[in-house]
Amino acid sequence: MTTIYQYAGLANTRTPGYGVEECAARIHHLAYAEERLMFLQAAHIISVPERDVKVLLARLQYEDAQHTDMLRSRLSELRVSKKRAASAPDTSLAVLFDEAIHAANTTELLASLVRVIKPALLAAYHDYLATTNDLADYPTVRLLKTIIAEEAEALRLLQAAYDDVVNSAERRAAADAWVDHLQQLLNAAGGIDGSGPVSSEAVALQRANEPYVIPRELTRDDAFPRVWDFYHVANEQISARLGQMISTRLSEVTVAEGLALVLCETPDQPWAFYVDLARHLWDEMRHSLFGEAAAEDLLGDRSAMPVRDFEASYLFEMTPLELYALIGIGVEAALMKYPPGKREEYEFCRDMAGYPLMRTFQDFDWADEVLHVNIARRQLKEWHHGDQAELVALAQQGLDFRASVRNLHPQSPLPDLGDRVVKRTG
Ligand SMILES: [Fe+2]
Ligand SMILES: [Fe+2]
């Protein structure tokens, strides 16, 4: 008699499947594809104006960084050295991503993800799972179940975004042309896991002869009203202070965009740097979503409060090291001081505003910022070869630059929440 829990419930127990070398070769390709996807999605967070797509990219670049990390760890258990695991596999897959990152607009970017890269990746994972022996290769099987679930969800979300954005004959034609071109490059590489036949047909590059440089331009759709900056309000003006906190959280989108510059334009760092930056980036975008969700919840309209623009005018002008020292040391480390700092913001929401949703958000915002300070300390120590005093001076320079840019234009008052509060707090 057999039971469903024989073999600990594993299926695929008596087919030989792949050997260690074949598994490692495929995982090496897949980890590389995930890494390049992280860069592709992060690089376009700035250039994509559509708010909901911008935010989705921030989540997906983080998840793909995690996938890369999991697959790389697994590789090191398959007789592959750490150094080799972190290197690019022997494939022309690089060319596909070199070209894809030059997407000229949201249509091309989404077309590459939805119609070429992500479906190929998902199919390769399914293929791997269908073939490998579950008993022999269980650590990979378990990883892939998680990765497949996330990739399938990602593809559904991206497909919905694609359907919204690619909404005219002209855009459909542009998407088709870009897809045809990238598909040829994918075929020439023998597929995303390198297991297919490599076509000998030479594919001419259209754009990758030049490296992609992220445009230093603020792109926003009309999801939120925009102001240069807003006045600071004292805690005693409770509803105004709460409104300001919502707008400040919302405006962290620009910090996420600044971190995309650091992630994508700091080459040759150890892999751990990119994992940390991808996480930090997604956290700042989540903080922006805290503002969006609070506005929608409290005011019945996600666009009730404005987002401020001035941050882009200094962040986009800085080198990655200056930018990261400013965010990690100049701003975030300073937020650890109490009072005021992150703890005071949390206590304000709990004790003065009595607004449970924002209390939860600020509680986690505080925890995230503690993590970011630790990440920044760790990464800046490795990255910057000077001493701590030099880093502090660099951060101070950034703060001075921030202050001078901020004063270029007047601050605006925020909308008076007064009777717009549709939900009773407390
Ligand atoms: Fe934040
Ligand atoms: Fe942060």
**Ligand number with the minimum distance to the CA of 332:** 2
220-229 tens-digit pLDDT? 999 999 999 9
Q: Ligand 2 centroid vs 332 CA: distance in angstroms?
A: 6
pLDDT of residue 298: 94
Last residue of a domain, one of 188, 215, 240: 188
Q: Ligand 1 centroid vs 148 CA: distance in angstroms?
A: 29
* Nearest partner of 414 among 294, 258, 308, 270, judged by Cα: 308
Confidence grade of residue 200 (pLDDT, cut at 50, 70, 90): confident
Q: Are 137 and 11 in contact (CB under 8 A)?
A: no
**Ligand number with the minimum distance to the CA of 284:** 1
Mean pLDDT over the full length of the chain: 95
Residues 180 and 230 grouped into a single domain: no
Residue 423: pLDDT over 70: no
Name the residues around ion ligand 1, CB cutoff 5 A: 252, 284, 287
Residue 426: pLDDT over 60: no
Confidence grade of residue 203 (pLDDT, cut at 50, 70, 90): confident
Q: Ligand 1 centroid vs 369 CA: distance in angstroms?
A: 6
Name the residues around ion ligand 2, CB cutoff 5 A: 332, 369, 372
238-266 tens-digit pLDDT? 999 999 999 999 999 999 999 999 999 99
Q: Is residue 194 one of the residues assigned to a domain?
A: no
User: What is the domain-level CATH number for residue 403?
Assistant: 1.20.910
Q: Is residue 5 one of the residues assigned to a domain?
A: no
Residues 244 and 386 grouped into a single domain: yes
Residues 183 and 291 grouped into a single domain: no
Q: Determine the structural domain holding residue 151 and report its residue range.
A: 17-188
Q: Is residue 99 one of the residues assigned to a domain?
A: yes
Q: Ligand 2 centroid vs 370 CA: distance in angstroms?
A: 8
What DSSP line would sit under 333-379, residue for residue?
Answer: IGGGSSSSHHHHHHHIIIIIS--HHHHHHHHHHHHHHHHHHHHHHHH
Q: Is residue 220 one of the residues assigned to a domain?
A: no
Number of folded domains that form the chain: 2
Residues 50 and 107 grouped into a single domain: yes
Q: Is residue 30 one of the residues assigned to a domain?
A: yes
pLDDT of residue 418: 77
**Ligand number with the minimum distance to the CA of 331:** 2
Instruction: Decide: pTM greater than 0.95.
Output: yes
Residues 129 and 245 grouped into a single domain: no
- Token pair belonging to 134: 């579950």
Residues 232 and 153 grouped into a single domain: no
d(CA 364, CA 119): 34
Q: Is residue 209 one of the residues assigned to a domain?
A: no
Q: Ligand 1 centroid vs 243 CA: distance in angstroms?
A: 17
Q: Ligand 1 centroid vs 283 CA: distance in angstroms?
A: 7
Residues 183 and 238 grouped into a single domain: no
pLDDT of residue 289: 98
**Ligand number with the minimum distance to the CA of 245:** 1
Q: Ligand 2 centroid vs 41 CA: distance in angstroms?
A: 20
- Token pair belonging to 150: 């996330």
**Ligand number with the minimum distance to the CA of 285:** 1
* Nearest partner of 69 among 377, 289, 299, 277, judged by Cα: 277
- Give the whole-number percent of the chain exceeding pLDDT 90: 92
Residues 150 and 235 grouped into a single domain: no
Q: Ligand 2 centroid vs 324 CA: distance in angstroms?
A: 11
- In this structure, the dihedral spanned by the alpha carbons of residues 124, 126, 132 and 135, taken in order and rounded to 10 degrees, is 140
